[in-house]
A and B are shown apart, each in its own frame.
Chain A
Amino acid sequence: MSPFLDVKDLKIHFPTDDGLVKSVDGVTFSLERGKTLGIVGESGSGKSVTSLGILGLHKGRGANISGEIWLDGEELVGASQEHVRGLRGKKMAMIFQDPLSAMHPFYTVGDQIIEAYRIHNKVSKAVAKKHAIDMLGRVGIPEPGRRVDSYPHEFSGGMRQRAMIAMALSCDPELLIADEPTTALDVTVQAQILDLMRDLQREFDSALIIITHDLGVVAELSDDILVMYGGKCIEFGSADDIFYRPEHPYTWGLLGSMPRLDREPTERLLPIKGSPPSLINVPPGCAFHPRCPYAERTGDKARTEAPALAETEGGHLVRCHMAPAERRALWENEIKPVLETP
């Protein structure tokens, strides 16, 4: 039994005047219906391009895509553009970060939902409008019958994101990808939207991918988590694996960088030195080695040889030269005590 969504060694490269941009350079994961995958990474880690690649929206002149994307038994990388277009919006849908710029300013919210519905369902405008009102109601917009004729700019930020979700869900997709769905929202509204997404996922039993830089948001929703760095998947595992048994130094760095409300404040944060690499100039060997405090431990290998993504145990994948036992010892003895001391 193959998984509902199975991505194998996905690569998306863009040739530019400055060189080949390896936006996505080896991403592997799988996802079942009813489950949520969180993709975490900093800017330029390739997390957004990965999701666009799944939907076949990676466009741009001459993007090279390789690898395999299996959705419900169908391979998408080799499929025709027209076929993938037919799946978009129907079988897989997407929610974007900033609902103000992601909705067309000249059409009413209702029109945009109606359009999404009618692309894949041969129904009259009136029927589609009824459906749109129904969807707006289901995502918690008050007076949906009246608001259906409003324009996006007449909505508040939170309401717009709800409308965006209504649009994405209008054709009952089996895979929903949310790219930073709450980043543009205030924290109380973010909580509402996260609750809504959790409830709707249960109701629709869809597979959900949530892309974010916020480890808190990921922890709230995800069953599995994929950590990306420099276009590569560097760690993949269950939420428990990533938060309680992380094995990649970058993941440790992310956890140490983040001030947390659920713990006593530490004197200092433990940031990762340096900055994320530019995708044109990804460091050779392990992409993380210039920032890795443990790069010395594996000697020249860090600079010369790219580590492979290897399973440590029970579906927990890590891309690191250090031996699993060494990583676990470091986590238990050096990292965890510092992160968790009150």
Chain B
Amino acid sequence: MLLFVVSIATFAIFFLVPRLAGMSADDLASRYVGKAANAQVIHDTAIRLGFNDPVIVQYGRFVKGIFVGVDRNYGPGVEHCPAPCLGYSYVSQNPVLPDILNRLPITLSMALGAAVVWVIFGVATGVVSALRRGSFFDRLSMGIALAGVSLPIFFTGIVSLAIFRDQLGLVGDVADWVPFSEDPLTWANNLILPWVTLAFLYAAGYARLTRAGMLETMSEDYIRTARAKGLAERAVVLKHGLRATLTPVLTMFGLDLGLLLGGAVLTESTFSLPGIGKYAVDAISNNDLPQVMGVTLIAAAFIILANLIVDMLYAVVDPRVRLA
């Protein structure tokens, strides 16, 4: 189902958008050959790259590229773009996919690290708030949570950068990306700000969700049963209460993580992290359609993957799902 939506979307971006925007085949081709080229060269390029073919044929070629790879006639010779081929950038002429894959570790580091932080803090805050409903802690944490949800990342991000990096010098320059395999400490030090600011935004939602879920779960009959067995309150909360609350949290987590991996546009821009989100922003500002489409496809793939994993985890968490 999602696959179908993605195909429609890519189709729209690549082939309908330029036409709706009034761009002719030659206009498209001119983006490949540069500004200096004369009309004849542009026209030849358009023919060579197949921009004059019917839309459906072009789309077929694009899909073929993804599954089996295509040959591209770039003028002086023919270049083979192996599957999965997402086409070539208008601007850099580089194939799109390797570019995106190179940036993946950055986005992955940022998203997963933030996810760990927000799940731990969000769920823990939610549980404690639910258990002490109406207490000072509950009201304080829910107030902070509200702030977390309402403050945009470019605000918290810039403020935290100004304080922790510029004023206090506690953290490294975020934009300096160091792979984990080279220097884990610097890696973490450079990423800690994006993690925390991103987690602040997300943890708030998780805290509220967990709190609401726990409040509901703790009034369930089976919680009373667990207490009637003489189970210690701690075990009642963690083993019986939290377990049942995690299902909706898991759903939200899958979607959030999928979305983030597809490009945390605002976060990466705020911290100048050269990840997939930044790539997407650059692609859009350059009107680089193959890049835009590549990012779209990759983002969609992450969401589908995340959903798939969530569905499988569901069956692990809730035995009732296994039958259905």
Task: Say if the two chains contact directly (CB < 8 Å).
Answer: yes
Cβ-based interface call for A130 (8 A): no
Quick one: which of B222, B228, B232 contacts A105, CB cutoff 8 A? B222
Minimum CB–CB distance for B247 against chain A, Å: 9
Q: Is B244 in contact with A88, judged by CB distance below 8 angstroms?
A: no
Closest to A60 in B: B219
Quick one: which of B134, B221, B318 contacts A98, CB cutoff 8 A? B221
Interface SS, A side: mixed
Q: Is A119 in contact with B244, judged by CB distance below 8 angstroms?
A: no
Q: Is A85 in contact with B222, judged by CB distance below 8 angstroms?
A: no
> Which residues of B sit under 8 angstroms from A61, Cβ to Cβ?
134
Minimum CB–CB distance for B55 against chain A, Å: 51
> Which residues of A sit under 8 angstroms from B229, Cβ to Cβ?
88-89, 93, 115-116, 119, 167
Quick one: which of A55, A93, A102 contacts B222, CB cutoff 8 A? A102
Q: Is A87 in contact with B230, judged by CB distance below 8 angstroms?
A: yes
Interface SS, B side: helix
Q: Is B230 in contact with A88, judged by CB distance below 8 angstroms?
A: yes
Minimum CB–CB distance for A219 against chain B, Å: 27
> Which residues of B sit under 8 angstroms from A94, Cβ to Cβ?
225, 228
Cβ-based interface call for B231 (8 A): yes
Residues of B within 8 A of A (CB-CB), count = 21
Q: Using an 8 Å CB-CB cutoff, how does the interface string of B228-242 with A read, 1 for contact, 0 for none?
A: 111110000000100
Residues of A within 8 A of B (CB-CB), count = 29
> Which residues of B sit under 8 angstroms from A155, Cβ to Cβ?
none
Minimum CB–CB distance for A100 against chain B, Å: 9
Give the complex CA separation of A120 and B243 in angstroms. Answer: 23
Give the complex CA separation of A87 and B220 in angstroms. Answer: 22
Give the complex CA separation of A183 and B231 in angstroms. Answer: 26
Give the complex CA separation of A116 and B221 in angstroms. Answer: 16
Minimum CB–CB distance for A106 against chain B, Å: 6
> Which residues of A sit under 8 angstroms from B220, Cβ to Cβ?
101
Minimum CB–CB distance for B283 against chain A, Å: 44
B interface residues with partner A (beta carbon < 8 Å): 134, 220-222, 224-232, 240, 243-244, 317-320, 323
Interface contacts beyond A88-B230, A102-B221: sample of 7 additional A-B pairs, CB < 8 Å, sorted by A? A55-B228, A57-B224, A89-B228, A96-B221, A96-B228, A102-B224, A167-B225
